Structure 1
Amino acid sequence: MSKITIRPATTHDARWLLKLYQQTIRTVNRKDYNKIQVNCWAPLDMEIEVFERYIDLKQPFVATDGERIVGYSDVQPDGLIDHFYCHHKSQGQGVGRALMNVIHEKANEMALPKLYSFVSITAKPFYLHFGFDIVRENEANVRGVGLKNLLMEKEIG
Structure 2
Amino acid sequence: MEIRKIRSGETGSIWRLFHDTVHRINQADYSKSELAVWAPDEYDEPRWVSRFIRTRPLVAMDGKSLLGFAELSDDGRIDLFYVHHARQGEGIGRALMQRLKAEAASRGLSRLYCEASITARPFFEAMGFVALEQRQLERRGQPVPVILMEYRA
Report what 2:116 is aligned to: 119
In the alignment, the residues of structure 2 paired with residue 66 and residue 133 of structure 1 have an alpha-carbon distance, to the nearest angstrom, of: 34
Cα deviation for residue 50 of structure 1 reads 2.1
Cα deviation for residue 24 of structure 1 reads 0.4
Cα deviation for residue 12 of structure 1 reads 0.9
Secondary structure at 1:116's aligned position in 2?
A: strand
Q: Give the residue type in structure 2 aligned to 1:72.
A: F
In the alignment, the residues of structure 2 paired with residue 62 and residue 113 of structure 1 have an alpha-carbon distance, to the nearest angstrom, of: 22
| 2:26 equivalent to 1:29 | yes
Secondary structure at 1:111's aligned position in 2?
A: coil
TM-score (norm 1): 0.95
| 2:59 equivalent to 1:79 | no
In the alignment, the residues of structure 1 paired with residue 63 and residue 90 of structure 2 have an alpha-carbon distance, to the nearest angstrom, of: 14
Report what 2:3 is aligned to: 6
In the alignment, the residues of structure 2 paired with residue 151 and residue 71 of structure 1 have an alpha-carbon distance, to the nearest angstrom, of: 21
In the alignment, the residues of structure 1 paired with residue 100 and residue 113 of structure 2 have an alpha-carbon distance, to the nearest angstrom, of: 11
In the alignment, the residues of structure 2 paired with residue 95 and residue 48 of structure 1 have an alpha-carbon distance, to the nearest angstrom, of: 26
Figure out how many residues of one structure are paired with residues of the other and give that number. 153
Identical pairs, percent: 33
Q: Give the residue type in structure 2 aligned to 1:141.
A: E
Q: What RMSD in Å do the two structures reach over aligned CA positions?
A: 0.8
In the alignment, the residues of structure 2 paired with residue 18 and residue 45 of structure 1 have an alpha-carbon distance, to the nearest angstrom, of: 10
Secondary structure at 2:78's aligned position in 1?
A: coil
Q: Give the residue type in structure 2 aligned to 1:69.
A: L
In the alignment, the residues of structure 1 paired with residue 73 and residue 40 of structure 2 have an alpha-carbon distance, to the nearest angstrom, of: 25
TM-score (norm 2): 0.97
Flag structure 2 segments of 5+ consecutive residues without an equivalent: none
Flag structure 1 segments of 5+ consecutive residues without an equivalent: none
In the alignment, the residues of structure 2 paired with residue 82 and residue 123 of structure 1 have an alpha-carbon distance, to the nearest angstrom, of: 13
Report what 2:59 is aligned to: 62
In the alignment, the residues of structure 2 paired with residue 123 and residue 117 of structure 1 have an alpha-carbon distance, to the nearest angstrom, of: 11
Cα deviation for residue 46 of structure 1 reads 2.8
Secondary structure at 1:64's aligned position in 2?
A: strand
Cα deviation for residue 93 of structure 1 reads 0.7
Matches within 5 A, 1:138-153: 138-153=135-150
In the alignment, the residues of structure 1 paired with residue 8 and residue 29 of structure 2 have an alpha-carbon distance, to the nearest angstrom, of: 31
In the alignment, the residues of structure 2 paired with residue 50 and residue 140 of structure 1 have an alpha-carbon distance, to the nearest angstrom, of: 19
